[in-house]
Structures are given as structure tokens and as C-alpha cells.
Amino acid sequence: MLDQLEQLKQEALKEIGAVENLETLNDLRVKYLGKKGPMTEIMKQMGKLSAEERPKVGAIANEVREQLTNAIQEQQDELGAAQIKAQLANETIDVTLPGTAVEAGTGHLLTQVIEEIEDLFIGMGYTIAEGPEVEKDYYNFEALNLPKDHPARDMQDSFYITENTLLRTQTSPVQARVMEKHDFANGPIKIICPGKVYRRDNDDATHSHQFTQIEGLVVDENITLADLKGTLTVLAKKMFGEDRDVRLRPSFFPFTEPSVEMDISCFKCGGEGCRVCKGTGWIEILGSGMVHPNVLEMSGIDSKKYSGFAFGMGPERVAMLKYAVDDIRHLYTNDLRFTNQFSVKE
């Protein structure tokens, strides 16, 4: 029996030492120490031993059981520790790996141009005014000296919603809205108004049924055409370069008298004549003029005491000229191959 115990011990220790995972180890525990295992079997046979032998063999059997139990426990501790170690190694976060970059968007080219112009005027003490895109006929036309049936209304084909409301064809109605509310006790009027406008046009490379405008209006005592020219010269140089010249050409708008159109010397050829300026050396940039006395009066401003200038320009035109964009639709169709060329990383 002692030999049997010794053999069992040798075999079991060998097997336990070779185990590589916790499940197999548990199987061995059941195999050697379980109720149906050889240890139980040996204990059962102890009854057959003589009274002298019994305690000796019993002590050795207990010793073997204890040795096996300890061996299993040790192996279990070792395998458990190895398992945790492997798991930790697996789940380690490598803090030196590059992170997932969050791509920040940037303003659209048109937004960039509008914001650049806004910044310039804010720097000169202007505030930004806004008005509705669904506008009353009164503000879009009548208050701007374009009574019903005035032939100049044809210059701007309109989307009418009702007889008296339409999608504004220009940002000029904001002039009338600002003037009728203004109190000169708070200082002069100095506003710009960027916004969307709509015209019943067929879309092509240079026309769009929806586009943007920036309106400007200054009203105070003693405002003259010289103030207009000075202001617009600053604008031209800021947007198209310091060495730009400016010229004013007589024009017609119902809401200004006199009316002028402003040209800048061609930024491409410097005035010699090229494709951009169509050989003239000059590029038309915007319409403007001195606010018509009728317009001032209709909005409740004394035209004997106050005078003003106004201008209206198209940011699309500025963007297209500045960046040689050959089709206005590029500004609206959001083809990323186009828009990404103008992304500015801040």
C-alpha cells in the first residue's frame, strides 16, 4: 500500500506540474482527490490493515493528500498570476500611439469673403443689420423709390409670394427698415447688411436664382460723395490689394441720386488690359450712390438736414474675381474638391 501511495504521489505530482491551464488543473483535482479518486479508494482499504500498520499508512496517506493539495494550490496560483499578466499585456494602452484626429471644418469660401468684409466695416465703426428674406413689396421696392409700375422693377425679376410679399430681390430694403427706426440722438447710421437675395433668373455660369449681397448705408449730417469714395477705396484695397485704383462711373439706381458704379483697376494686369478685365483695365465691383432724398423722407428722415451714401455688392463676384472661379454654381453645389481648396486651418 505504501508503494501504491508513493507511485500515486509521483504520478500525480508529475501531471500537476505539467498542467498549462486552470481547467485541466481542476480536472486533476477531481481525478486524484475527488470522492471517486484513488486516494478515497486507498483510505477505504485501510480497514484491512493491521492495527500497527494503520496509523503509519494513515499518516503517510494524509501526507500525500496534503502534498497533492499543496501542489495543486501552488500550480493554481502560478497559472492564475500568469493569466492576469497575459490579460494585462493584452489590454495595455500604448499612450504613444497617435490619436484619432477630429477633423474640424472651415468656413465656406463665400462665408470667408463675407466675414472679411464684415470685419473691415466693423473696424470702421459700422454695425451689422439684418432683415427678412420674405419681404414686403413696400420695403423691397416702394420705400426705395420704386412705386408700383415703375419700369425699373423689371431690372429685378421677382418671386412673389402674395401680391404684397416677395422673396427680397436685394438687401436694400434693410436700409428703409433701419432708417425708419433710427433716432439720430444715438449717433449716425452706419450699417452693413449681408444676406441672401432671390431673383427669377435661369441659373448659368454667372446667374443664380439665389445669391448674396452686402448692403452698406451711412446717414448723417454733411455726408458727401467724397465720403463714399473714400470708404469704397478702403474696401477695394483691403479686398484686392493696396495698389488698387478706384473710379466712379455715372449710373442709375432709383434709390440713389447721383448713382455711381465703382470700378477697380484690374488686379491681374494692373490696368494694361487682359482677359479678367476684358481689355479695359477696369473691373466693375459694385453699385452705389447718395441716398435719394425721397428715400430719406419716406423713412422719416429730414433730407434737408441729413444726407447719406449707400452701396450694394455681391460677395460671389468678389470671391469669383479674387480666386478665378469661373462658374457661380461652384459656390453652391458643395463639391468638396472645390470647397476644400479654400479651407483655412486656424
Does 256 engage in binding with ligand DAH (CB under 6 A)? Answer: yes
Does 254 engage in binding with ligand DAH (CB under 6 A)? Answer: no
Q: What's the distance, CA 327 to chain centroid?
A: 24
Taking residues 197 to 236 in sequence order and writing x for each that binds ligand DAH by CB under 6 A, - otherwise, the string is: ------------------x---------------------
CA distance 217 to 290: 10
Please give the order of strands across the beta sheet that includes 282-291: 127-128, 189-198, 210-220, 307-313, 282-291, 256-265, 246-253
State the minimum distance, in angstroms, from the CB of residue 174 to ligand DAH: 10
- Is 74 annotated in a binding site? The answer is no
Q: Which is nearer to ligand DAH, 288 or 299 (CB)?
A: 288
Q: Which is nearer to ligand DAH, 15 or 284 (CB)?
A: 284
Does 131 engage in binding with ligand DAH (CB under 6 A)? Answer: no
State the minimum distance, in angstroms, from the CB of residue 280 to ligand DAH: 21
> Does residue 219 contact residue 234 with C-beta atoms inside 8 Å?
no
Any idea how long the chain is? 346
Does 75 engage in binding with ligand DAH (CB under 6 A)? Answer: no
b/e burial code for range 310-327 (CB count within 10 A of at least 16 → b): bbbbbbbbbbbbeeebee
Judged by CB under 6 A, how many residues of this single chain contact ligand DAH? 11
Q: What DSSP state is assigned to residue 36? A: T
Instruction: Please give the full DSSP string across 226-294, using - where no structure is assigned.
Output: HHHHHHHHHHHHHHH-TT--EEEEEEEETTEEEEEEEEEE-TTTTTS--TTTTTSSEEEEEEEEEEPHH
Who contacts 296 (Cβ-Cβ below 8 Å, separation ≥6)?
179, 219, 302, 303, 306, 307, 308
140, 170, 208, 307: residue in contact with ligand DAH (rule CB under 6 A): 170
Does 253 engage in binding with ligand DAH (CB under 6 A)? Answer: yes
Q: Which is nearer to ligand DAH, 312 or 315 (CB)?
A: 312
State the minimum distance, in angstroms, from the CB of residue 229 to ligand DAH: 13
State the minimum distance, in angstroms, from the CB of residue 312 to ligand DAH: 2
Residues 282-311 close enough to bind ligand DAH by CB under 6 A: 287-289, 310-311
The binding site for ligand DAH (CB under 6 A) comprises 170, 172, 215, 253, 256, 287-289, 310-312
| Binding-site positions for Mg(2+) | 257
